[in-house]
Structure 1
Amino acid sequence: MVNGIRRMSALKNNEMTNLSSVSDFYSGKTVFITGGTGFMGKVLLEKLLRACPGVSKIYLLIRPKRGQEAQERLQQLLCSPLFDKLRKERPTDLHKVLPIGGDITQPELAISASDQALLIRSVNIVFHSAATVKFDEKLKLSVTINMLGTQRLVELCKRMDQLEALVHVSTAYANCDRYEVKETVYPPSIGPDQVTSLVETLNEDLVDSLTTKLIGNRPNTYTFTKALAECWLKENRENLPLVIVRPSIVLSSIFEPLQGWVDNWNGPTGIIAAAGKGLFRSMLCDSNKKADIVPVDMVINLMIVSAWRVGTTKPKDLIIYNCSTGLRKPITWKNFVNSCFKYMRKHPISEVSWYPDGTVTASKTINLINRYLLHWLPAYIIDSFVWISGGKPMMLRVQDKLTKASGCLEYFTMQEWQFDDENVRNLVTTLDESDKKMFCFDVAKINWDNYIENYILGIRRFIFKEDNASLPKARQQISRLYWVYRILQVISVLCMWHFLTLRNAPLRNLWRSALQLLVHLARMLPFV
Structure 2
Amino acid sequence: MPSIDLCIESPMASMQPTLSSMTISEFFQGKTVFITGGTGFMGKVLLEKLLRSCPGVSKVYLLIRPKKGQNAHERLSELLCSPLFHTVRKERPNDLYKVLPIEGDITQPDLAISINDRNMLARSVNIVFHSAATVKFDEKLKLSVTINVLGTQRLVELCKKMGNLEALIHVSTAYCNCNRTDVREVVYNPPMGPDQVTSLVECLDEDLVDTLTDKLLGDRPNTYTFTKALAESWLKENKGDLPLVIVRPSIVLSSNDGPLEGWVDNWNGPTGIIAAAGKGIFRTMLCDSNRTADLVPVDMVINLMLAAAWRIGTTKNRELQIYNCSTGQQKPITWKNFIGLCFVYMRKYPYSEVSWYPDGTTTSSKLLNTLNQYFLHWAPAYVMDYFLHLTGGKPMMIRIQNKLSKAAVCLEYFTTNEWKFDDENVKNLNKVLCESDRKEYNFNVAKIDWERYIENYVLGIRKYIFKEDIDSLPQARKNMLRLYWTYRSIQIISVLLMWRFLTIKYTPMRQMWSKALHLLIHLARLLPFL
TM class, shorter-length: over 0.9
Q: Does 1:23 align with 2:25?
A: yes
The answer to whether the Cα contact below 8 Å between 1:276 and 1:349 also exists between their aligned partners in 2 is yes
**Residue identity matched to 2:462:** R
The answer to whether the Cα contact below 8 Å between 1:247 and 1:322 also exists between their aligned partners in 2 is yes
Which among 365, 368, 371 is matched to residue 367 of structure 2?
365
Show structure 1 runs of 5+ residues with no match: 1-6, 519-528
Partners of 2:388 and 2:66 in 1: how far apart? 39
The superposition leaves residues 209-228 of structure 1 with CA deviations (integer Å, 9 ceiling, x where unpaired) of: 00000000000000000000
When the two structures are superposed, what TM-score results if normalisation uses the length of structure 2? 0.93
Corresponding residue for 2:197?
195
**Residue identity matched to 1:373:** F
Corresponding residue for 2:416?
414
The answer to whether the Cα contact below 8 Å between 2:13 and 2:19 also exists between their aligned partners in 1 is no
The superposition leaves residues 72-114 of structure 1 with CA deviations (integer Å, 9 ceiling, x where unpaired) of: 0000000000000000000000000000000000000000000
Partners of 2:277 and 2:18 in 1: how far apart? 48
Structure-2 change in CA distance of 1:396 and 1:515 (3 Å)? closer
Which among 122, 126, 129 is matched to residue 128 of structure 2?
126
Corresponding residue for 2:37?
35
Which among 177, 180, 196 is matched to residue 179 of structure 2?
177
Partners of 2:192 and 2:502 in 1: how far apart? 58
**Residue identity matched to 1:337:** I
Which among 82, 88, 102 is matched to residue 100 of structure 1?
102
**Residue identity matched to 1:32:** F
Corresponding residue for 2:268?
266
Cα shift at 1:15: 6.6
Partners of 1:512 and 1:200 in 2: how far apart? 73
Indicate the SS of the match to 1:18. Answer: coil
When the two structures are superposed, what TM-score results if normalisation uses the length of structure 1? 0.94
Structure-2 change in CA distance of 1:497 and 1:263 (3 Å)? same
Partners of 2:508 and 2:31 in 1: how far apart? 81
Corresponding residue for 1:434?
436
Which among 384, 387, 402 is matched to residue 385 of structure 1?
387
Corresponding residue for 2:521?
none
Indicate the SS of the match to 1:289. Answer: coil
Which among 458, 464, 467 is matched to residue 465 of structure 1?
467
The answer to whether the Cα contact below 8 Å between 2:177 and 2:229 also exists between their aligned partners in 1 is yes
Partners of 1:510 and 1:447 in 2: how far apart? 53
Q: Does 1:117 align with 2:119?
A: yes
Cα shift at 1:11: 6.5
The superposition leaves residues 414-443 of structure 1 with CA deviations (integer Å, 9 ceiling, x where unpaired) of: 011000000000000110000000000000
The superposition leaves residues 188-225 of structure 1 with CA deviations (integer Å, 9 ceiling, x where unpaired) of: 01100000010011100110000000000000000000
Indicate the SS of the match to 2:56. Answer: coil
Cα shift at 1:256: 1.5
The answer to whether the Cα contact below 8 Å between 2:253 and 2:296 also exists between their aligned partners in 1 is yes
Corresponding residue for 2:54?
52
**Residue identity matched to 2:190:** P
Percent of residue pairs identical: 70
Cα shift at 1:317: 1.9
Partners of 2:257 and 2:207 in 1: how far apart? 46
The superposition leaves residues 8-62 of structure 1 with CA deviations (integer Å, 9 ceiling, x where unpaired) of: 9397299777331110000000000000000000000000001000000000000
Partners of 1:13 and 1:236 in 2: how far apart? 28
Partners of 1:11 and 1:83 in 2: how far apart? 35
**Residue identity matched to 1:215:** L
The answer to whether the Cα contact below 8 Å between 1:57 and 1:98 also exists between their aligned partners in 2 is yes
Show structure 2 runs of 5+ residues with no match: 1-8, 517-530
The answer to whether the Cα contact below 8 Å between 1:383 and 1:393 also exists between their aligned partners in 2 is yes
The superposition leaves residues 257-287 of structure 1 with CA deviations (integer Å, 9 ceiling, x where unpaired) of: 1000000001100000001111101000000
The answer to whether the Cα contact below 8 Å between 1:16 and 1:430 also exists between their aligned partners in 2 is no
Q: Does 1:245 align with 2:247?
A: yes
Partners of 1:321 and 1:517 in 2: how far apart? 64
Structure-2 change in CA distance of 1:517 and 1:48 (3 Å)? closer
Partners of 2:384 and 2:373 in 1: how far apart? 16
